[in-house]
Amino acid sequence: MRKTYEGANFWTKEEEMPTLPQDLIIEILVRLPLKTLLKFRCVSKSWLSLLSNTEFHKTHVNFSMNNPKMTDYTLAAVATVSGLGKICRVYTISSENSSVTVSKHGCPPKSLSLSAWLLGSCNGLVCLTTDSFELMLLNPCTGKFNVFPDSIIHCEVGDGGYYFRYGFGYDASTDDYKVVKIFSFPQSGEGRHVNMVNVYSLKANSWSNIQGFNSGHINGNVGVFANGILHWEGCLNCHISGAYSEIVTLNLATERYGKIGLPSYEDGGIIHWALGVSRGCLVACCNYELNRADMWVMKEYGVERSWTKLVAISSPVDHRVKISPLFVAENGDEVLVMLGTEITLYNSRNASFKRLADYVSGDFLQVQVVTYLESLTSPHI
């Protein structure tokens, strides 16, 4: 079906008529680097109209998502440095067959450096918190942003207190971006938690309460978004041997919860899971006590038997830390991971680690990372 772009009969009488059909021009444009598209906005009013059109933005994002071999991703890392405050670095991630290349990428947006927490990304937008109890949707490539209040709840808190988790994603059924905030209250016995859930709709510009759920302890501060669904790892009896973990899901379109089983793992010792998404696929990393981890990818979303082990990683002797997935090469030969607070490229062919030069072990109190697609997506609807 031919797409229509409202208000975009782009060529005026004063301008030279194009020699190519509009559909073909759009097919060419979606294949160009974002930096080129940003420059093209200055060519003429008609080009500005086209490149500012939300339908073109969606077409560009869909092409990038459906053609991962032609798409570069960007990694933003915000480090809290002892005595220096926060430092932000941005890198371009390129992947070709078995290789992953990470290169430094220009000046980071100031808003990322000022963020308190990075809460995830979707379609080129990054969700983050500020220091003034506000949330922000930011397009790091265009610099456009949208600020709105965070959510609070009014209820009695027991002796166990509570914690909260976030998630950010896109509801394609309503063309809406949503932020989820989970308030978790521990119950006595076997690590069960009662969860109250609020959802922010960018289109409605408001928070609403949805039905809550019960679970184990939800690990990780941020949910992982894939296939229109947010994912958190939930664990019962997390701190003892024999703990049971599973993935808790929330479908942003139906606002229904679900569960996905994690891959099988070796018995014995305490297991820590870390979730991620790479090129649209759900990734799970199983951390064992003895300095090693297995990384799995879900080849067919929602089908538990499609979990495929990509690589087994043995941590360096001097790094007894948790490993979290950031980006995976097509065949799994190279994976970009968080090794504690260090961003590291692991090569499974020779079991080597290559640390990003900017980050030196021991200098950082905390490092947050987010991987995003470069796009023209607007943080306003």
The pair of structure tokens assigned to 67 is: 């053609």
What sign results for the dihedral spanned by CA atoms 352, 75, 98, 295?
Answer: positive
Q: Name the residue ranges covered by the structural domains of the chain.
A: 20-64, 65-371
**Whole-model pTM?**
0.90
Closest Cα partner for 98 from 310, 356, 308? 310
The rounded distance, in Å, linking the Cα atoms of 377 and 99 is 29
Helix (H, G, I), strand (E, B) or coil at 179: strand
The rounded distance, in Å, linking the Cα atoms of 293 and 282 is 17
Sequence-distant (6+) residues with CB within 8 A of 257 are 213, 248, 249, 250, 251
According to the model, what pLDDT value does residue 263 have?
93
Contacts by residues 3-12 (CB-CB < 8 Å, ≥ 24 positions apart): 3/55, 3/59, 4/55, 5/50, 5/53, 5/55, 5/56, 6/53, 6/55, 7/49, 7/53, 8/49, 8/50, 8/53, 10/46, 10/47, 10/49, 10/50, 11/46, 12/45, 12/46
According to the model, what pLDDT value does residue 319 have?
64
Beta partners for residue 247, in sequence order: 233, 260
Contacts by residues 219-222 (CB-CB < 8 Å, ≥ 24 positions apart): 219/272, 219/273, 220/165, 220/274, 220/275, 221/117, 221/119, 221/165, 221/166, 222/117, 222/118, 222/119, 222/120, 222/165, 222/166, 222/167, 222/168
Domain spanning 65-371: which CATH class is it, in words?
Answer: mainly beta
Within 10 A of 9 (CB to CB), how many other CB atoms are there?
10
Burial of 167 (0-12, 13-18, 19+ CB in 10 A): buried
Tokens 């975009």 — which residue? 8
Tens digits of residue pLDDT in 352-372: 999 886 655 556 678 899 999
The tens place of each residue's pLDDT in the chain, 381 residues long, gives: 445 555 455 545 445 545 788 889 899 999 999 999 999 999 888 889 999 999 999 999 999 999 887 888 999 988 887 777 788 889 999 887 778 888 887 777 777 877 789 999 999 999 999 878 899 999 999 999 999 999 988 777 666 678 999 999 999 999 999 999 999 988 876 678 889 999 999 999 999 999 999 888 898 889 999 999 999 998 865 555 556 789 999 999 999 999 999 998 877 677 889 999 998 899 999 998 767 899 999 999 999 999 999 999 988 766 668 899 999 987 778 999 998 888 999 999 898 999 886 655 556 678 899 999 999 999 998
